[in-house]
Amino acid sequence: MVQAINAAVRLPPLWLVYAAGLLPAAWVWHLGLTGGLGPEPIRALERELGLTGLQFLVAVLAVTPLRRHTGINLMRFRRALGLLCFFYVAQHLGVWLFLDLADPRLIAADITKRPYVLVGLLGFLVLLPLALTSTDRAVRRLGAERWRQLHRLTYGAALLGLAHFAMLVKGFPVEPLAYAVLVAALLGLRALPPRRART
């Protein structure tokens, strides 16, 4: 079964993964432009883009545990998932900067008064070097070990993203907690020895 899944995974071209990953953005922008996001479309757009970015980040974190513990190998998609995560987080930030506030004074005041904004900005800044070093050329220039060390920042980005999400939610943050449990489980699985080693 695992061999059949891995064989199927090798079939689709990578551009198809990127194209599929862009569909949620196209849909939510369509809703925003046609009045389908409710009475506060900009806030809804921010939320949907940010949440989709977090979902792609969780997918990135799931690739290695899935390979280690089930044998299903999605490593060829990890870079695409990471770049799509950055794409959605950058859009989330862009909507806040240019559509929600669109005034440097308001932006500065928001960063000062709202801790979740600062946490979100830190999360974006952590993702930025990961996106910039996602090419094969960057791997060659940094060296494989230094590149792996740098890309461990993915864990920090996930924690900052979860904190940003939880601080945004009013009342008991059920949805952010669900994502936090999932991320904690994935990080815990990374710490366990691979299935073959255990057997």
pLDDT per residue over 128-146, tens digit each?
999 999 999 999 999 989 9
The CA distance from 88 to 92, in Å, is 6
Q: 58 with 96: CB under 8 angstroms?
A: no
- In the numeric block, which tokens belong to residue 187? 């990080």
- What's the average model confidence in pLDDT over 64-72? 92
Stretch (H or E) spanning 90: helix 78-94
For 151, phi then psi, to 5°, come to -80, 0
The CA distance from 40 to 34, in Å, is 13
pLDDT at residue 120 above 90?
Answer: yes
pLDDT tens by residue, 141-166: 999 899 999 999 999 999 999 999 99
Residue 18 or residue 171, greater confidence: 18
- Looking at the structure of the chain, the number of domains it has is 1
Among candidates 151, 171, 141, which has minimal Cα distance to 57? Answer: 151
pLDDT at residue 199 above 70?
Answer: no
Residue 199 or residue 177, greater confidence: 177
pTM: 0.93
Which residue segment(s) compose the domain that 182 sits in?
2-198
The CA distance from 86 to 128, in Å, is 8
Q: What is the pLDDT of residue 173?
A: 84
Q: What is the pLDDT of residue 102?
A: 84
The CA distance from 36 to 55, in Å, is 22
For 116, counting Cβ atoms within 10 Å of its Cβ (0-12 exposed, 13-18 middle, 19+ buried), the class is middle
pLDDT at residue 198 above 50?
Answer: no
- What's the average model confidence in pLDDT over 34-58? 95
Torsion, CA 59, CA 63, CA 66, CA 67, rounded to 10: 170
pLDDT at residue 25 above 70?
Answer: yes
Q: What is the pLDDT of residue 175?
A: 93
Among candidates 63, 53, 47, 88, which has minimal Cα distance to 158? Answer: 53
**Helix ranges (DSSP H) in 95-192:** 104-113, 115-132, 136-142, 144-150, 153-168, 174-191
Distance of CA 58 to the CA centre of its chain: 6
The CA distance from 148 to 142, in Å, is 9
- What's the average model confidence in pLDDT over 100-113? 89
Amino acid occupying residue 14: L
Q: What is the pLDDT of residue 78?
A: 95
For 71, counting Cβ atoms within 10 Å of its Cβ (0-12 exposed, 13-18 middle, 19+ buried), the class is middle
